[in-house]
Amino acid sequence: MHWTKSFVAAIAGCALSLSIGTLAPTASAQASAPTSLAEAGKDQPTGSEWWRHAVIYEIYPRSFQDSNGDGVGDIKGITARLDYLHDLGIDAIWITPMYPSPGIDYGYDISDYTAIDPEYGTMADFDNLVAEAKKRDIRVIMDYVINHTSDQNKWFLESRSSRDNPKRDWYVWRDGKGETATDKGQPPNNWQSWFGHSAWQWDEKTRQYYYHYFYVQQPDLNWRNPDVHKAMDGVLDFWMKRGVAGFRIDAVSRLYEDPNLHDDPYLSGRNAYGDRNIQHKYTDDLPQVHDVLKEVRSVVDKYPGDPVLVTEADEPNVQALSKMYGNGDEVQLPMDFQIADVNELSAPRFRELFNQIENNSAHGQPEYFFSNHDQPRQWDRYGDGVHNDQIAKLMAVLELTTRGTPQMYYGEELGMRTTDPARIEDVHDPIGKLGWPKEKGRDGERTPMQWTSSQEAGFTTATKPWLPIPPSASKYNVEAESKNPNSILNTYKELLALRKSEPALRDGVQISIGNDSDVFAYLRRSRDESIIVLLNMSSKEKVFAFRPGDVQLNDSSTLRPLYSSTRVGESISPAHVVLPPFAAVVAKAQ
Ligand code: NOJ
């Protein structure tokens, strides 16, 4: 519900109002907040740094729009939907891999880095997509899968062909333990694949094991070999020359392994695949990762347009995350998995984590997301089973009004939900077969985009899309939601437009207000404007009162609402803001 008019009427008669000119945080807010108001605006974008105030939209190409009726999304389909993306208000699309691939990991097993998989179209289709996107001010970010290739990549085929092949050392080959001429022995150590079981695969032809952090069909590249650097830098050059705006770098913390092959320590319990739990101590986050990030940055920085690097790295804390920025010479946008995975509506937890990242030692730009192609959708993860739509709007406000670069996942703007396969026979993602029923795989968050309420949701003309259309598509779809001013889609549109029109929401500092256990409140402040965001993360009605210490009050100022997800009543006063369950309010002090 958009209630701007009623709120303005309500505060017009208020004796108590907010003073924007003297708005200042309390001592408590300052203690936990990173930046004082005096410094407001010091982090304003310089030069073209477009990525600081961009909103990135992740597209899973198999599932976005099918243009040729084969049940699988494709490049022409994405191009056909650029107007939708432009109207929505996004600035860049990150497309997950569209390179030739056997498809074991649905594109993350690449057999040729400098071509387009015919399933998705041609290079001409790709060039046309970049050109059409540019016309609409939309940048294209590619996925750079750097840790591993497909076992069908010609580099690996050569590498596995003989022990003295020049590309043998492009991958990680080791002898087994206790291996003899007739016995393959045991894997070199206890390292485990993220996708279950040993990370070592025996290769009978050359009688050695190769290392794979992910599926058996995804052998790890050996980043200790300079020729691998040259080849992978060439991949970056290839796509930069085609006009892409940067890369999302896949699984970057897994690039190096301990050369002495120490066993990883075991943890208690077992995973969904029945393996003992393990700490990936000797295969994650080795310091050399940062040399590679610097190198990638220096390659892309040869090109104009301020190319962006986004990293997928599920770092365990803000200190580890901050290292990804380097000294401003690594990546601009490390994805913040800490915040993505709070997985409960907890005001204290969000307050703590947002304060931490605001205060990051590298002064880097945060990158926020709540859904992607690897984890259940936010509608389910944050919903309480009763108020999910309301909570979806609250999460949209959180994502789009905090200081950072938001990254959306296709369909989150509709309230798309996770729709897991019901039977093991229907599972596509191999981990879903291996771990069933504990681990059902990632099909549930990759279902086709819901454009219309028709049987195939406007995604395809095929009778059988590659993944089934979720039943929720009949109600949650672009066509229906566009017509409903209260829909989740229109909430996103409204918030995205606000980000563009309000400098404080794009670039202003962020300062937490108060310590309420249910309400996450914060101030966004740029040189000449202050915006307050109030998020009631509980199922109780809450009354939020700005204390004189939180903000200075006087009689001449007002608080003007910009957005609210719900009617908050007629009796609003800055000293007494009534917030219904899961209400989200964005208001401007003036
Ligand atoms: C991270 C990607 O997001 C995921 O989908 C993939 O399975 C792994 N990396 C391996 O490439």
Q: 105, 250, 439, 529: which one is catalytic?
A: 250
> How much is the pLDDT for 107?
98
- Does residue 166 have a cis peptide bond before it, meaning omega lies within 30 degrees of 0? no
Give the tens place of pLDDT for each residue, 255-277.
999 999 999 999 999 999 999 99
Q: List the residue whose alpha carbon is closest to atom 2 of ligand 1.
A: 250
Amino acid letter, 452: T
Q: How far is the CA of 443 from the centre of ligand 1 (A)?
A: 13
Q: Give the start-end residues of each E strand in 21-131.
A: 56-59, 92-95
> How much is the pLDDT for 42?
40
* Residues in contact with ligand 1 (CB, 6 Å cut-off): 105, 108, 145, 214, 250-251, 312, 373-374
Pair type for strands 200-203 and 173-174: unpaired
Q: Which of 250, 254, 171, 241 is nearest to 210 (CA)?
A: 171
Q: What is the mean pLDDT of the chain?
A: 90
Q: How far is the CA of 374 from the centre of ligand 1 (A)?
A: 7
Q: Does residue 11 surpass a pLDDT of 70?
A: no
Q: 312, 315, 443, 481: which one is catalytic?
A: 312
Q: Which atom of ligand 1 is nearest to the CA of 96?
A: 3
Q: List the residue whose alpha carbon is closest to atom 6 of ligand 1.
A: 108
Query: Looking at 160-169, 181-190, 338-347, 394-403, which range is the least confident one?
Result: 181-190
Q: Which atom of ligand 1 is nearest to the CA of 109?
A: 11
Q: Does residue 552 surpass a pLDDT of 80?
A: no
Q: List the residue whose alpha carbon is closest to atom 5 of ligand 1.
A: 374
What confidence category does residue 6 fall into, taking pLDDT thresholds of 50, 70 and 90? very low
Amino acid letter, 274: G
pTM: 0.92
Residue 209 phi, psi (nearest 5)? -100, 145
Q: Does residue 569 surpass a pLDDT of 80?
A: no
Indicate the top mutation candidate among 60, 95, 98, 108 to test ligand 1's pocket, ranked by most ligand atoms within 8 A of CB.
Answer: 108
The structure tokens listed for 585 are: 């309010």
User: Across 60-64, 178-182, 513-517, which has the greatest mean pLDDT?
Assistant: 60-64
Q: Does residue 553 surpass a pLDDT of 80?
A: no
Q: Does residue 161 surpass a pLDDT of 80?
A: yes
Q: Does residue 20 surpass a pLDDT of 80?
A: no
Share of the chain above pLDDT 70, in %: 89
> How much is the pLDDT for 19?
31
Q: Does residue 22 surpass a pLDDT of 80?
A: no
> How much is the pLDDT for 574?
76
Contact 145, 108 (CB under 8 A): yes
Q: Which atom of ligand 1 is nearest to the CA of 195?
A: 7
Q: Which atom of ligand 1 is nearest to the CA of 214?
A: 10
Q: Which of 126, 76, 79, 128 is nearest to 100 (CA)?
A: 126
> How much is the pLDDT for 568?
57
Mean pLDDT of 480-508: 96
228/155 Cα distance (integer angstroms): 10
Q: How far is the CA of 251 from the centre of ligand 1 (A)?
A: 7
Amino acid letter, 267: L
Q: Does residue 578 surpass a pLDDT of 90?
A: no
Give the tens place of pLDDT for each residue, 59-74.
999 999 999 999 999 9
403/525 Cα distance (integer angstroms): 10
Q: How far is the CA of 140 from the centre of ligand 1 (A)?
A: 19
Q: How far is the CA of 156 from the centre of ligand 1 (A)?
A: 19
> How much is the pLDDT for 527?
83
76/98 Cα distance (integer angstroms): 12
Task: Clarify whether 158 is annotated catalytic.
Answer: no
Amino acid letter, 302: K
Q: Does residue 518 surpass a pLDDT of 50?
A: yes
Give the tens place of pLDDT for each residue, 221-253.
999 999 999 999 999 999 999 999 999 999 999
CATH code linked to domain 5-46+508-589: 2.60.40.1180
Q: How far is the CA of 146 from the centre of ligand 1 (A)?
A: 11
239/248 Cα distance (integer angstroms): 13
Query: How is the chain split into domains, by residue range?
Result: 5-46+508-589, 50-148+225-263+283-495
221/150 Cα distance (integer angstroms): 10
The length of the chain in residues reads: 590
Q: Does residue 13 surpass a pLDDT of 60?
A: no
How many Cα atoms within 13 Å fall on the side-chain side of residue 360? Answer: 29
Cα-based angle 229, 293, 336 (whole degrees, multiple of 5): 140
> How much is the pLDDT for 486?
94
Query: Looking at 122-126, 238-242, 470-474, 574-578, which range is the least confident one?
Result: 574-578
Residue 556 phi, psi (nearest 5)? -100, -5
Mean pLDDT of 407-423: 98
Give the tens place of pLDDT for each residue, 98-145.
999 999 999 999 999 999 999 999 999 999 999 999 999 999 999 999
What do you get for the CA distance between the two ends of the chain, in Å? 23
Give the tens place of pLDDT for each residue, 286-334.
999 999 999 999 999 999 999 999 999 889 999 999 999 999 999 999 9
Q: List the residue whose alpha carbon is closest to atom 4 of ligand 1.
A: 374
Q: Does residue 567 surpass a pLDDT of 80?
A: no
What confidence category does residue 558 fall into, taking pLDDT thresholds of 50, 70 and 90? low
268/275 Cα distance (integer angstroms): 11
The structure tokens listed for 28 are: 């408590």
67/449 Cα distance (integer angstroms): 13
Q: Which CATH number fits domain 50-148+225-263+283-495: 3.20.20.80, 2.102.10.10, 3.30.2010.10, 3.40.50.10490?
A: 3.20.20.80
3-class DSSP assignment, residue 28 = helix
Task: Clarify whether 312 is annotated catalytic.
Answer: yes
Indicate the top mutation candidate among 99, 250, 375 to test ligand 1's pocket, ranked by most ligand atoms within 8 A of CB.
Answer: 250
Share of the chain above pLDDT 90, in %: 83
Give the tens place of pLDDT for each residue, 39-51.
433 443 444 899 9
